[in-house]
Amino acid sequence: MALLGSGALAAALGLYVYAALAGAWGAARSARKLQRSARNALLAALPATATATGVLVTAFVRHDFSFVYVAEHSSRTLPFAYRVSALWGGQEGSLLLWLLILASVSFGAVLLNRRLVDRTLPWAVPILAALASFFAYLLVFVSSPFATQTAPLDGAGLNASLQNPYMLAHPPLLYVGYVGLTVPFAFAMAALLSRRLDARWLVATRRWTIVSWTCLGLAILLGSKWAYGTIGWGGYFAWDPVENAALMPWLTATAYLHSVMVQEKKGMLRVWNVSLVVLTFSLALLGTFLTRSGIVDSIHSFSRSPIGAWFVGFIAVVVLASIALVVVRLPLLRARSPQLESLVSREAGFLYNNLLLVAFALTVLWGVLFPVLSQTVRGVPYSVGPPYYDFFLRTFGLPLLLLTGIGPLIAWRRASLRSLRRSLAVPAVAALAAGVALVVAGDGGEPAGLAAYTFSAFVLTAIAVEFVRGTRARRSLDGGSWAAAFSSLVSRNRRRYGGYVVHAAVAMLAIGIAGSSLYRATAERRLHRGQTIAVHGYSLRYLGTSFRPGANHDELRAILAVSRHGARDGVVAAGRNHYHAEAFFGNAAAIRTDWLRAEDLFVIADSFDVDGSVDVKVIVNPLVDLIWLAGVVFLFGSFVALWPDAREEKRLVRHELSVGKVVPA
């Protein structure tokens, strides 16, 4: 089995290298047969990569501990689902999953845009193949998942923190987000090399970018939900370096998705958009490097390994080559590029949005790299903590939130003050009313929280106004019911109105973050049987402990009776899990969600003593569940934006006509 896996990886590496070299030669010499041969080699690499992955998954399922990687990340008592997810539980397997996703993405992107690639962007194939060659090389020569040994009786088990349902989806979504960003990068570089700098590559890669951006955003939220319920400190985002590594490319991809609309509609920002693609892909590679090199201290990262130096060199080559190519093609990118007509226009709003997003991403990047640089230069790793990130989150995040509501209300090219006042009047009144209501209710003590709430009210009202105005206009033109007019409105411009739904999700996220961060209540003490702990109207009485053995882990729980303002409200059980094979103790927090009061009761129990006492920490998190609900709304808005649009399809057909894919009758 190991020989089959190693051979499949070696075959994939050979196919990728051939596709890169033959494809580059064919693109440079306009040799169509060689280009097609390279394309076929790239497509054939997918089955080879899938075979290698299948071998490793089979080894996990069958408890084949002769594989060193399987023995290090599995055990006989590990449940089936986690045996499968153990594929990405370590460095070698996660790199193999990365390569499999990259092979699949390359296969789909090239096959679905075959004529465009063959006739207009032949450099896309060798670029995709070259990127895949690097990861295949690591797996074959540097960090192979198919190393073997004399099989032990049992394996070391899987990291206990990874034995969580959210981890079945979080890493694959994260990798799809990272790897999917390869497509816009490869097509952008191919457009530069081919001197084809029109909107064809934008149209061809738009949906790939949206899918990758959506997966990356969902992965961040799922990772936050996993941290909230598993790590056991009561929070969901700790500005961990690897968390930040996922956030940075999401921020720059968000900027790109906004600015690309300006290029499509006005032909502007061509240099900026290509630069954003390069920056986003480079940050995605950096995120992979931070996770797998062990260069930063993080609960998410793997131990230090020999692939760190390889990744540094690879990122340096990608960044320098991309910058050089952009600089060489600057005259073509700037040619016939219209200028910004007014600072008060929708395109100007998109530009402000971009600058804030990129500034925030670069600020986070500096916070991630500063400890590494200080260690290298001074020998002392100066850490950057949450206060640094929280400051810049407020500095850049609050204006971004406000722009989310203002941008869609401003006209293209130039907005008159009269039309601007008319568009902003209703949202501004709603925001003012929300702010006054919060102050009267006594919740306006935190300026950042008050700003987040009022700006969110502005955004949500602006979105509602846009939907109402559009539906009314559609109904006046087509007649019929309000529901039919609404459906027609959305179906005629799904990307626009799907984007509005995503904006609503952002406003909900802002409310959830502000409420759970600024208005949480906490209490902690050591309890003996019969003693109570009180916080924010809740009273919890310690009843005793329970113990339940299991096949994979044992559960020790503290049982607490809950009362709310004197009324009984059931019991909660919080404590620790002991994982047998891993010899690891993990937290098991008790979380009770009260949707009516819009708050979570979060209970942590630790340090169980022989006298029956236990340390208990109780947190009341208001509005935190809006964060997870925002993820559902975000996913729905992304689906709406991705759903085939008749007008978008016509534009795509026109682009394909220009490269000969469709021949009119």
pLDDT at 660: 42
Lowest mean pLDDT among 123-127, 193-197, 626-630: 193-197
Q: Identify whether the C-beta of residue 607 lies closer than 8 Å to the C-beta of residue 596.
A: no
Lowest mean pLDDT among 247-256, 368-377, 504-513, 621-630: 368-377
At residue 83, does pLDDT exceed 60?
A: yes
Q: Identify whether the C-beta of residue 117 lies closer than 8 Å to the C-beta of residue 201.
A: no
C-alpha to C-alpha distance for 585 and 84, rounded to whole angstroms: 22
pLDDT at 656: 44
> For a pLDDT cut of 70, what percent of the chain falls above it?
94
Structure tokens at 339: 């200028």
For residues 24 and 488, the model is more confident at: 24
At residue 224, does pLDDT exceed 60?
A: yes
C-alpha to C-alpha distance for 278 and 284, rounded to whole angstroms: 10
Taking residues 517-528, what's their average pLDDT? Answer: 92
Lowest mean pLDDT among 68-72, 184-188, 583-587, 607-611: 583-587
pLDDT at 645: 64
At residue 211, does pLDDT exceed 50?
A: yes
At residue 215, does pLDDT exceed 80?
A: yes
Reported as a single tens digit per residue, the pLDDT across 84-135 is: 999 998 889 999 999 999 999 999 999 989 888 888 889 999 999 999 999 9
Q: Reduce the DSSP state of residue 560 to 3 states and report it.
A: strand
In this structure, which amino acid lies at residue 127? I
C-alpha to C-alpha distance for 121 and 189, rounded to whole angstroms: 9
For residues 267 and 599, the model is more confident at: 599
Q: In 10 A of CB 556, how many CB atoms?
A: 18
At residue 337, does pLDDT exceed 90?
A: no
Provide the pLDDT confidence category of residue 420 given band limits of 50, 70 and 90.
Answer: confident
Q: In 10 A of CB 316, how many CB atoms?
A: 11
> For a pLDDT cut of 90, what percent of the chain falls above it?
60
- What spatial distance separates the first Cα and last Cα of the chain, rounded to whole Å? 54
pLDDT at 529: 94
Provide the pLDDT confidence category of residue 662 given band limits of 50, 70 and 90.
Answer: very low
Lowest mean pLDDT among 377-381, 432-436, 520-524: 377-381
For residues 543 and 241, the model is more confident at: 543
pLDDT at 282: 95
The alpha carbon torsion through 203, 205, 209, 212 (nearest 10 deg) reads 150
pLDDT at 441: 80
At residue 138, does pLDDT exceed 70?
A: yes
Taking residues 367-383, what's their average pLDDT? Answer: 80
At residue 560, does pLDDT exceed 60?
A: yes
pLDDT at 663: 35
- Average pLDDT for the chain: 88
For residues 237 and 441, the model is more confident at: 237
At residue 457, does pLDDT exceed 70?
A: yes
Taking residues 561-580, what's their average pLDDT? Answer: 91
What phi-psi label fits residue 234: left (phi over 0), alpha (psi between -120 and 50 degrees) or beta?
left
Provide the pLDDT confidence category of residue 636 given band limits of 50, 70 and 90.
Answer: very high
Widest pairwise Cα distance in the chain:
87
Taking residues 474-500, what's their average pLDDT? Answer: 87
Burial, 186: exposed, middle or buried (Cβ in 10 Å; 0-12, 13-18, 19+)? buried
Taking residues 11-38, what's their average pLDDT? Answer: 95
At residue 393, does pLDDT exceed 50?
A: yes
At residue 466, does pLDDT exceed 50?
A: yes
**pTM above the 0.75 mark?**
yes
C-alpha to C-alpha distance for 412 and 350, rounded to whole angstroms: 11
pLDDT at 12: 97
Taking residues 427-442, what's their average pLDDT? Answer: 90
Residue 153's Cβ-side half-sphere holds a number of Cα atoms within 13 Å equal to 1
Lowest mean pLDDT among 67-71, 122-126, 472-476, 572-576: 472-476
Provide the pLDDT confidence category of residue 294 given band limits of 50, 70 and 90.
Answer: low
Taking residues 647-660, what's their average pLDDT? Answer: 52
Provide the pLDDT confidence category of residue 252 given band limits of 50, 70 and 90.
Answer: very high
At residue 231, does pLDDT exceed 70?
A: yes
